[in-house]
Amino acid sequence: MLTHAQIWHAIDALAARHGLSTSGLARKAHLDSTTFNKSKRATADGRLRWPSTESVAKVLEATGDSVEEFMSLLTLSAKPPIPRRVPVIGFAQAGRGGYFDDAGFPVGQGWDEAVFPGVGEDPVYALEVSGDSMEPLYRDGDMIIVSPSAQIRKGDRVVVKTNGGEVIAKELKRRTAKTIELASMNPTHGGRVLQQTEVAWIARIVWASQ
């Protein structure tokens, strides 16, 4: 039997999986931005509210996730998340040479570490956001968890490092054999179109500390 908490935990996990807040997930699915807010999960008199099947279907269509993937999140939500220690890297460090292998994983030892809950078992690391280029989604000082091995789909939030040492976080708009088209999270900053030959690596944002 599914519980109210399991359903909402799965929606929270789905949002985090795509580097979104629950409001961002609702907007991506063309729903009211408050649809999944915690304040909407129970009435003032304590009666539990459940997300509609229509809203869940719209979210899965918007994110490209399958029903089976959502069900796996329901199963995981029944278990308490296991905290993990992961390396923490600043954006300035990320742009320097010799810090990553060809797949986008940090190399060497001696990194600062932080503990994060519910980030799975795949190899991941944290990037500390600096500046305002990713506002309002990610702000200066936020931590984003990056997975170089995660499958990347259109609409995912990603971190890209160029061969010139630039590290940028944007939304993947389109990817072909020759180019990567990125949309900006901040309307005051433009998007980018990069040639595949310019890209050292690309990794998906799977969790954020907001």
* 29-58 exposure pattern, b = at least 16 Cβ within 10 A, e = fewer: bebeeebbeeeebeeeeeeeeebeeebbeb
Alpha helix (H) residue ranges in the chain: 4-17, 22-28, 53-63, 67-77, 91-94
Same domain, 107 and 68: no
CATH code (residue 137): 2.10.109.10
Residue 119, pLDDT score: 62
- Domain interval for residue 15: 4-77
Question: Are 152 and 158 within 8 A, CB to CB?
Answer: yes
- What is the C-alpha separation between 209 and 150, in angstroms, rounded? 19
Same domain, 68 and 131: no
Split into its structural domains, the chain has a count of 2
Residue 30, pLDDT score: 93
DSSP state of 39: G
Give the tens place of pLDDT for each residue, 124-174.
888 888 777 777 777 888 888 888 888 888 888 899 989 888 888 888 999
Same domain, 90 and 64: no
Residue 95, classed as helix, strand or coil, is coil
Which positions ≥6 away from 67 have C-beta within 8 Å? 60
Domain's final residue, options 59, 77, 95: 77
Phi-psi region of 136 (alpha: psi -120 to 50; beta: other; left: phi over 0): alpha
Q: Which parts of the chain sit beneath pLDDT 70? A: 1, 44-45, 75-82, 92, 95-99, 108-110, 117-121, 210
Same domain, 60 and 90: no
Same domain, 68 and 149: no
Q: What pTM does this model have?
A: 0.61
Residue 130, pLDDT score: 79
Same domain, 105 and 198: yes
Task: Give the tokens for residue 170.
Answer: 């944007």
Residue 128, pLDDT score: 85
Residue 148, pLDDT score: 87
Domain's final residue, options 58, 77, 96: 77
Question: Are 192 and 198 within 8 A, CB to CB?
Answer: no
CATH code (residue 72): 1.10.260
Same domain, 24 and 48: yes
Residue 95, pLDDT score: 64
Domain's final residue, options 25, 46, 77: 77
Burial class of 92 by CB neighbour count within 10 A (0 to 12, 13 to 18, 19+)? exposed
